[in-house]
């Protein structure tokens, strides 16, 4: 690309005095920084510095009124020695694991159907859009919309009762761990479908044909050809789902009716009690856990190649 850029550059440089050429090359080197500047500045001010602030504040001291600049380890001590923390982490990881397994199964199946069984490109586009549109609507509304379905007198309970399968409404449907995982799957299945579909669309169809000609059954093709080649998409989807669930607090609060806990919810509660240093220490540990999980998943895939 630089080669093709030379001719017009050279002709204009010969017309301009020499100093202009030097200034131009300096300008040229500055161009990518000017272009990437707004992005870099935004991320610096609203992501990197805030996170460094959290790290700093996690060492501060506090009482019931305000927070004090200090260097104490009590926030971490209290956090890591409390059995509540460990129980909450266990609960959060449980939510993440359940949601991951279910969204992976759904995401892979849906993407496989779209990529390999829908023949017309138009239909593929239409059905893919049908899957992605809910992603652009409000998460909170999508959670609320489960109430008439799962509630005590909800559609599911009355349906099961009139079918004679149960004689008392099931209590565990709404405001329970079940409801939390259901809402997670509902909200985040898209994050699995899209990257897996993207990976599958890049699979060379000749490979599938070759496997079939070689006598592989449909199941063998899926397991030995498509699954390994869809791994990058699976990894990207998994990163999205796991990090979203690990950091969530609103779904857990709304769908469990305050009866279940997650790390995000614990942080949100500490924030509402103005215990910022405690919340900050909790946030630093959460960030470390999430980053370790992501790095582990990134070992499988180089995302830059997948775009």
Partner 1 sequence: MTGNSNRRGLSFYLLAAFFGLFVLFLYGPIATITILSFQGPEGGLTFPMNGVSIHWFRNLFEQQAVGDFGGSFRRSIALGLTVMVLTVLFSLLAGFAFRRRFPGSGALFYLAVASLIVPSILVSLGIGLLFNILGIEPAWHSSALGAHLTWTLPFGLLIVFAIFNRFNSAYEEAARDLGATPWQTVRHVVLPILLPSLIGVGLFGFTLSYDEFARTLMTAGSFNTLPLEIYGMTTNVTTPVLYALGTLTTLFSFTVIGLFLAGVAILRRRRLRRTGAAR
Stretch 213-232 residues interacting with partner 1 (CB under 8 A): 218
Give the 3-state secondary structure of residue 142. helix
Interface with partner 1 by CB under 8 A: which range of 73-81, 95-103, 151-159, 224-232? 151-159
CB of 270 within 8 A of CB of 261? Answer: no
CB of 25 within 8 A of CB of 248? Answer: no
Q: Where are the alpha helices (DSSP H) in 117-262?
A: 121-132, 139-144, 147-150, 155-162, 177-201, 205-213, 218-221, 227-229, 231-246, 250-256
Interface with partner 1 by CB under 8 A: which range of 73-81, 83-91, 131-139, 226-234? 131-139
Contacts of residue 72, defined as CB under 8 A and 6 or more positions apart, other chains included, come to: 59, 60, 61
Phi then psi dihedrals of residue 65, to 5 deg: -105, -50
Interface with partner 1 by CB under 8 A: which range of 18-26, 77-85, 96-104, 282-290? 282-290
CB of 223 within 8 A of CB of 180? Answer: no
Interface with partner 1 by CB under 8 A: which range of 79-87, 94-102, 152-160, 226-234? 152-160
Asked if 130 touches partner 1 (CB under 8 A), the answer is yes
Minimal distance, residue 237 CB to partner 1, in Å: 13
d(CA 36, CA 266): 37
By beta-carbon proximity to partner 1, the closer residue of 106 and 203 is: 106
Q: Which of 13, 127, 160, 216 binds partner 1 (CB under 8 A)?
A: 127
Window 39 to 98, contacts with partner 1 (CB under 8 A)? 39-40, 42-51, 53-54, 57
Q: Could you please report the per-residue DSSP string of 40-75?
A: HHHHIIIIIHHHHHHHHHTT-EE-SS-EE----SHH
By beta-carbon proximity to partner 1, the closer residue of 84 and 126 is: 126
d(CA 124, CA 113): 10
Give the 3-state secondary structure of residue 167. coil
Q: Which of 186, 192, 199, 281 binds partner 1 (CB under 8 A)?
A: 186
Asked if 173 touches partner 1 (CB under 8 A), the answer is no
Minimal distance, residue 32 CB to partner 1, in Å: 4
Q: Where are the alpha helices (DSSP H) in 202-256?
A: 205-213, 218-221, 227-229, 231-246, 250-256
Asked if 286 touches partner 1 (CB under 8 A), the answer is yes
Q: Which of 31, 65, 165, 206 binds partner 1 (CB under 8 A)?
A: 31
By beta-carbon proximity to partner 1, the closer residue of 53 and 82 is: 53
Binding residues for partner 1, total number by CB under 8 A: 90
Q: Which of 15, 65, 129, 206 binds partner 1 (CB under 8 A)?
A: 129
Asked if 283 touches partner 1 (CB under 8 A), the answer is yes
Residue with tokens 């260097």: 71
Q: Nearest 5°: CA angle at 303, between 300 and 307? A: 140
Minimal distance, residue 171 CB to partner 1, in Å: 15
Based on the number of CB atoms within 10 Å of its own CB, is 180 exposed (0-12), middle (13-18) or buried (19 or more)?
A: buried
Minimal distance, residue 94 CB to partner 1, in Å: 17
Window 230 to 249, contacts with partner 1 (CB under 8 A)? 239-240, 243, 246-249
């Amino acid at each position: 690309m630089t080669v093709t850029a030379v001719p017009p550059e050279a002709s204009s440089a010969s017309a301009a005095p020499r100093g202009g050429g030097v200034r131009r090359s300096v300008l040229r080197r500055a161009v990518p920084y000017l272009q990437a500047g707004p992005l870099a500045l935004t991320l610096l001010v609203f992501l990197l510095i805030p996170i460094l602030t959290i790290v700093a504040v996690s060492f501060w001291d506090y009482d019931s009124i305000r927070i004090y600049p200090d260097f104490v380890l009590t926030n971490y001590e209290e956090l890591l020695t409390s059995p509540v923390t460990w129980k909450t982490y266990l609960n959060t990881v449980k939510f993440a694991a359940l949601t991951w397994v279910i969204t992976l199964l759904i995401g892979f199946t849906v993407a496989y159907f779209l990529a390999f069984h829908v023949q017309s490109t138009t239909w593929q586009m239409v059905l893919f859009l049908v899957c992605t549109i809910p992603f652009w609507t409000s998460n909170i509304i999508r959670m609320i919309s489960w109430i008439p379905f799962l509630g005590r007198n909800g559609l599911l309970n009355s349906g099961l009762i009139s079918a004679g399968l149960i004689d008392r409404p099931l209590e565990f449907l709404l405001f329970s761990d079940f409801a939390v995982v259901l809402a997670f799957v509902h909200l985040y299945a898209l994050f699995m479908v899209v990257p897996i579909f993207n990976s599958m669309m890049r699979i060379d169809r000749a490979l599938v044909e070759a496997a079939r000609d070689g006598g592989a059954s449909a199941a063998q093709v899926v397991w030995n050809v498509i699954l390994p080649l869809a791994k990058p998409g699976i990894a990207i989807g998994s990163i999205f789902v796991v990090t979203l669930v690990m950091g969530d607090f609103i779904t857990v609060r709304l769908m469990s009716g305050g009866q279940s806990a997650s790390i995000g919810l614990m942080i949100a509660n500490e924030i509402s009690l103005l215990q910022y240093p405690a919340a900050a220490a909790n946030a630093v540990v959460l960030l470390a856990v999430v980053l370790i999980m992501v790095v582990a998943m990134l070992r499988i895939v180089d995302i830059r190649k997948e775009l």
